[in-house]
């Protein structure tokens, strides 16, 4: 009775109202461990390249929205420009990212991955995709749908306005 489990929760709609603190705690811990497991592979790869998570995040979102501006990126990542700039500078110096002056607004810099940048992004996201795919496969289709639904609810409460960016000019 202390733990009614997920199966019971699925059986009757009202059971959600009876979620015990213990059940919620399990969810919280699962998130904790999942977050860790989720960054484990990239972290290992990044160490080989002498980069950190900050670089991963930048590379990911530049790949996601090529041509995004620095301000866009700041907004998405939620860090200070000094913090981002430190990371961005090394990526540009190392030839993984290119920064192009905007045509419409010449103050803006539009960020793109170079070939090398795309290669790193691919390496990192392949690792995460594989992990994600494995989890999805073991969990089954219905579970995946539910997973995404809950995750989106958890995001909603904070952000998601950033969830699309406006690119410009392919170089």
Partner DNA sequence: TTGGAAAGTCAACATGGCTGACATAAAAAG
Partner DNA sequence: CTTTTTATGTCAGCCATGTTGACTTTCCAA
7 touches, from DNA, its own copies, none (C-beta below 5 to 8 Å by class): its own copies
24 touches, from its own copies, DNA, none (C-beta below 5 to 8 Å by class): its own copies
Give me the long-range contacts of 75-84 (CB less than 8 A, separation at least 24): 75/162, 76/162, 76/165, 78/159, 79/54, 83/54, 84/54, 84/58
Nearest alpha-carbon partner for 94 in 77, 76, 78, 115: 115
Which of residues 1, 2, 7, 50 is near its own copies by CB under 8 A? Answer: 7
Task: Convert residues 104-123 into a mask of x (bound to DNA by CB under 7 A) and - (unbound).
Answer: -xxxxx--------------
Report the interface residues with its own copies, using CB under 8 A.
Answer: 6-7, 9-10, 12-13, 15-16, 19, 21, 24-38, 40, 57, 60, 64, 78, 125, 128-129, 131-160
């Amino acid at each position: 009775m202390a733990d009614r489990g997920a199966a019971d929760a699925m059986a009757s709609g009202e059971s959600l109202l009876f979620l015990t603190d213990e059940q919620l705690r399990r969810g919280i811990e699962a998130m904790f461990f999942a977050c860790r497991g989720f960054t484990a592979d990239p972290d290992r790869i990044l160490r080989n390249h002498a980069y950190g998570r900050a670089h991963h995040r930048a590379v990911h979102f530049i790949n996601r929205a090529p041509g995004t501006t620095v301000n866009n990126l700041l907004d998405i990542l939620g860090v200070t420009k000094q913090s981002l700039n430190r990371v961005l500078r090394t990526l540009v110096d190392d030839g993984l990212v290119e920064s192009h002056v905007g045509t419409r607004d010449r103050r803006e810099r539009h960020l793109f991955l170079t070939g090398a940048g795309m290669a790193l992004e691919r390496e990192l996201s392949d690792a995460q995709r594989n992990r994600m795919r494995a989890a999805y496969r073991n969990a089954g289709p219905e579970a995946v749908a539910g997973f995404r639904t809950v995750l989106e609810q958890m995001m909603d409460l904070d952000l998601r306005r950033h969830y699309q960016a406006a690119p410009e000019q392919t170089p």
